[in-house]
Structure formats: C-alpha cells, structure tokens
Amino acid sequence: MKRPHLKLGTKIAMLSFLLVLLSVFLAGVIIVNRISDKMEQEIGYRAMAIARTVAQLSEVQENLSQFEGSKVIQPLAERIRLATGVEYIVIFDMEKIRYSHPYLDRLGTVFNDGDEELALQRKEYLSQAVGVVGPSIRAFVPVLADEGTRQVGVVAVGILVPTIREIVSAIRVELYSSILIGLALGGLGSFYLASNIKKNMFSLEPSEIARMLEERVAIFQAMDDGVVALDMENRITVINEKACRIAGTSEKAVGCPLQEFPAFTPLSDFLETHDPAESTELILNNTWVLVDFLPIRVKERVVGRVITLKEKTEVRKMAEELTGVKTFIEALRVQNHESLNTLHTIAGLIQLDKADQAMEYIYRVTEEQQEVTRFLSSKIMYPNVAGLLLGKYNRGKELKVDVLFDADSRLSELPEGFDSNTLTIILGNLLENAMEAAVGSKISEVHCRIKHEHHQLILSVEDTGPGISLANQAQMYQWGFSTKGNGNRGIGLSLVKQTVDLLGGTIEIETGKWGTRFGVRIPLSGIRS
C-alpha cells in the first residue's frame, strides 16, 4: 500500500509545532529546576539565619552544658521552631548531647549524623540530609559563650526541601497556563510559517521544484552559448559548460570572483559599470567571441548581471555565407550592367557600319578584363579575396572610378587565427569608402596595395577624394557615424577598426586635399592575447 504523501506545508507545520512543544517542555523543566535551586538557596539562607539567631540567645549560651539545661533550652527552641515553621531545631553540647529536639524521647541522646564535626570546630555551613519525612537542608552554627571566646555547643536547624511535584503543584496554574499559551502561539506561528514559505515558493512542492530545476539545468547546460551570471560583487553564481569550455575553467568556479580567472581578464573593463553592452567582440582564451552584458533585475532592483558568450566562429560562418552571396550578387549585377553597356556599344558600331572598330572594341574590353583577372588570380592566393577585388574593380567602372592595383601586390599567407573572410571585411569596407570618396573628383582613382613586409601583412587603400576633416577624423571609427546620411551606414570603418584592434594591428591615415590613404598593418604572428 502506498504511503500517503504529506504536503510541504503540512510537514513544516507539524515539524514546527513539535519543535515548539519540545521547546516548551524543555523550558518548563528548566524553569522548575531553576525554581527548585532557588528555593534550596533561600531555604539555606533562612535556616542559617535562624540558627545564628538561636546561637546568640543568652539562654542557650548559659544553659548549654549545664545540668538539666534542657529544661530551659527545649521550650525555647520549640517556641522558635513553631514560630518559624522549620522542621526541627536541635541544640547539642560539645559532647554531642542533645538539649533540644522535636521528639522529647531523643533529649539527652547523642547527635551522631556524621556531618556535625566541622561545627564543633567553630565552622558555619549548610548540609543536606534525607530523613524519614524527606530531604532537608540543615544549617550548623557553633554556640560561643564568654563573648565568643569559648564554644559550648552547636545549633542545627533543619528545613524540609519541597519535591518537584510539590513545586509543580504550587505553580500549576501559572505553569499550565504558560504552556497552553506557548503551544497556542507556537501552533499559530507554525501554520503561518508554513503558509509563508509555501507562498514564497510559488505554492510549489519540493518535488515540483526539483523537477523544474533539473529541467532548467539541462536546458541551461545544453545552450550553444556560454552563460555566466555574476552577483553585485562580481562573484560567479552560475556558469554553464559552454562558458567553462570557452574560458578553459570548470564549474568549480562558482562562488569565486570573476577576476581570479585570467581567461576573463578582457571583461574587466565592463565590470566597472552596470550598463548593458551588446555584441562586443573580445578574445577569451584564444577564442574570438561576441559578448553581451545584461543586468539581472529582481523587482526593479539590479542584483547582478549575466554575460553571454557566443563563439564568433558560428556567427562568422553565417556572416561569411551572407557576405559571399552578397558579393556574388553585386558582382553579377555589375557584370550584367557592364555587359549591357558593352553590347549597346557594339550594336551601335555595327549599325554605323564600323565593324572593324566594333571588333577592336571587343578585343580591348576582353583583354582588359582578362588582364585584371589574370593579375588577381596570380597574385592573390585566396579566391574570395580575389573575387572581392574583382567585384570592386567592376563596381569602380560603374561609378566611373578607376580601381588600380599595385603591381607589387601579393597575398600568399595570412596571420594565424585570421581567415580570408575577415580580410574581405577590412578590404571591402576600405575600398567601398574610397570609391565613394573619389566619385566626382577631377581624377577619380583608387589605388590598392597588398603585400607582406617585416612579418606583417600590409594593406594600403588610397583615393583621390576631398580628404577627411579633423572633426570627422575624431569620430569616423564610432559605430553609426557617417557623413553620407542615415540608414545602414556608419558601420564599415567601425568594423575595420574593431577587427584590426583584435588582430593586434594598427591603422594609419594620411589625408589632405589630394585625397586619403588608409594603411593597415597586421602582424603575421596572429591574434593578440
């Protein structure tokens, strides 16, 4: 038979009530014991005070050790015993002979309980004894005569100590009332606590929370992006497997400051602010990633931040595919436009009965195109780069801008970790900007040079445009800045700058009324650490 399942609220309420019940019980036991100890202490003080009073009575001092002295001492001791309510007052001399006792048949007998010896040596003290009627506390006080110079006997005063049952019986109304009130308040508190905890847990049972947590952890670990969550002190609170792999660390990093891991050093600049940052390119542990920083808000309060790491390899693959398609389409469009112009020219020459000139024109156009194609295919070892340059050459013809390639240009190797598609981003943006600048100039030319020198890849793009003003030079690398209006502009130079910086390269610019030259130097040693 399946055991009935108790809900979390019921478990918490029952456990809390049992704890309250146990606490009240223990508190009652402690209180009763404290009361018992206090009563014993008070009884001891009282017994000692009575014993001292009796020992200082002149009747006791003068008649103790006297023949028939008990006739004076016994009535006196009994009157005091009855007046004070003590159990007994026993007075005996130095020979331990009793001169007073509640039971008359014990007068004249020897006091021999075993704990009176110190009293015969002028010591005052308390002792405990168990008699016929129960436990008692006894006070022993020496009786001194002749102004305290001579001891003549001892006064022993005994008071019964109440039992625990008697103490509880005496305070039962207060004790039981306190216990009932405590249990009632504890019960109410238990049910309130259970209800509050259940509310804070969104009325979910632990099994439901565990299942949801397992599902979310599985989803979190299966994500293709790296995710790192930080608290306000920049300590890692959550990190998934992908982020661990990118950073070269382990999930044991949870609870440690992010700054302790060298792989995350490039993120340090972003830790000083809580502002969001999106699609920032960084190198983490020799991996090129896109990083997003987003604040974590709980009830409109920032409690930390989450960092997502997307390997740029995947992003770049998609971008390269799109870039390749775009370049191919642009090349086809320009080629189609040029072909139509060429056909129109040939058709016009034929209609004018100038067949020889038409043939000459065909040879010239074909030779020119083939010459450029042969040059690029022999000098540039990367087809996509050669295709880009050929496309820009044709694009220049469309814009009536001569795109000229330096005869010394050559591209046979690229820096480590730097693929040819990244080079197309740099060259494509520089050439496009140069052609736009050269359009409409008296001499519309763009000069391009690619070569290797001193373990560096050197790119040079020069135009004959109007140049760049100082004001624009200060802003030209900013994302979205453009002198040609709004729209999807102001991105090219920013991408070039960001890419060159990540590769550890430099950009040099020379500008004037004669035009502008961009020089890019990238070390062949590869991506900087």
DSSP characters over 84-126: HT-SEEEEEETT-BEEE-SSGGGTTSB---SS-TTGGGT--EE
Cα 371 from Cα 367, distance rounded (Å): 6
Instruction: Provide the pLDDT for residue 147.
Output: 83
3-state secondary structure (DSSP) of residue 123:
coil
Determine the topology of domain 8-168 in CATH: Beta-Lactamase (3.30.450)
Can you tell me which residue has the tokens 């293709």?
Answer: 224
Instruction: Provide the pLDDT for residue 30.
Output: 83
Instruction: Provide the pLDDT for residue 325.
Output: 47
Largest CA distance in the chain: 177
> Is the separation of the CB atoms in 476 and 459 below 8 Å?
no
Cα 245 from Cα 514, distance rounded (Å): 51
**Considering only CA atoms, which of 333, 246, 252 is closest in space to residue 282?**
246
**Considering only CA atoms, which of 209, 28, 52, 67 is closest in space to residue 139?**
52
Burial class (CB in 10 A: 0-12, 13-18, 19+), 124: middle
Cα 460 from Cα 473, distance rounded (Å): 18
- What is the residue extent of each domain of the chain? 8-168, 225-311, 393-523
- Tens-binned pLDDT, residue by residue, of the chain (529 aa): 455 567 766 777 777 778 777 877 787 778 778 877 888 889 889 999 999 999 999 999 989 888 888 899 999 999 999 999 899 999 999 999 999 999 888 898 999 888 888 999 999 999 988 766 678 899 999 999 888 889 999 999 998 888 767 666 666 677 677 778 877 777 787 777 777 777 777 667 777 777 777 777 777 677 778 888 888 888 888 888 888 887 777 666 787 887 777 777 777 777 776 677 776 777 777 677 778 888 888 777 888 888 888 776 555 555 544 444 455 555 556 555 555 565 666 666 676 766 666 666 665 666 666 778 888 888 888 888 888 888 888 888 888 899 999 989 998 887 766 778 788 888 888 998 899 899 988 899 999 999 988 888 899 999 999 988 888 887 887 766 777 655 556 667 877 888 888 788 899 999 998 899 999 998 887 544 3
Instruction: Provide the pLDDT for residue 231.
Output: 86
Instruction: Look up residue 56 and give its amino acid.
Output: Q
**Considering only CA atoms, which of 490, 526, 474, 475 is closest in space to residue 505?**
526
Give buried/exposed letters for 202-241 (b at 16+ CB in 10 A, else e).
Answer: eeeeeeeeeeeeeeeeeeeeeeebbbbbbeeebbbebbbe
Q: What H or E segment, with its residue span, contains residue 226? A: strand 226-231
Q: Do domains 8-168 and 225-311 have the same CATH topology?
A: yes
- Cα 157 to the chain's mean position, in Å? 70
Can you tell me which residue has the tokens 């008070």?
Answer: 42
> Is the separation of the CB atoms in 427 and 388 below 8 Å?
yes
- What the block records as the tokens of 25 is 């019980």
Cα 495 from Cα 491, distance rounded (Å): 6
DSSP letter assigned to residue 235: B
3-state secondary structure (DSSP) of residue 414:
coil
Ramachandran area for residue 379 (φ above 0: left; ψ -120 to 50: alpha; else beta): alpha
Cα 319 from Cα 324, distance rounded (Å): 8
Q: Would you say the C-alpha torsion 482, 488, 492, 495 has a positive or negative sign?
A: positive
3-state secondary structure (DSSP) of residue 149:
coil
- What the block records as the tokens of 12 is 């918490």
Determine the topology of domain 225-311 in CATH: Beta-Lactamase (3.30.450)
Cα 461 from Cα 455, distance rounded (Å): 20
Question: In 10 A of CB 76, how many CB atoms?
Answer: 18
**Considering only CA atoms, which of 175, 215, 226, 196 is closest in space to residue 25?**
175
List of residues 6+ apart from 336 with CB closer than 8 A: none
Instruction: Provide the pLDDT for residue 90.
Output: 93
Over the stretch 123-147, which tens digit does the pLDDT of each residue have?
999 998 876 667 889 999 999 988 8
3-state secondary structure (DSSP) of residue 277:
strand
Cα 37 from Cα 43, distance rounded (Å): 10
Choose which CATH entry (3.40.50.150, 3.30.565.10, 3.40.50.720, 3.40.50.10090) describes domain 393-523: 3.30.565.10
- What the block records as the tokens of 359 is 């043939």
Half-sphere exposure of 161 (CA within 13 A, CB side): 23
Can you tell me which residue has the tokens 């009793």?
Answer: 98
Angle between helices 383-399 and 312-351 (to 10 degrees): 40
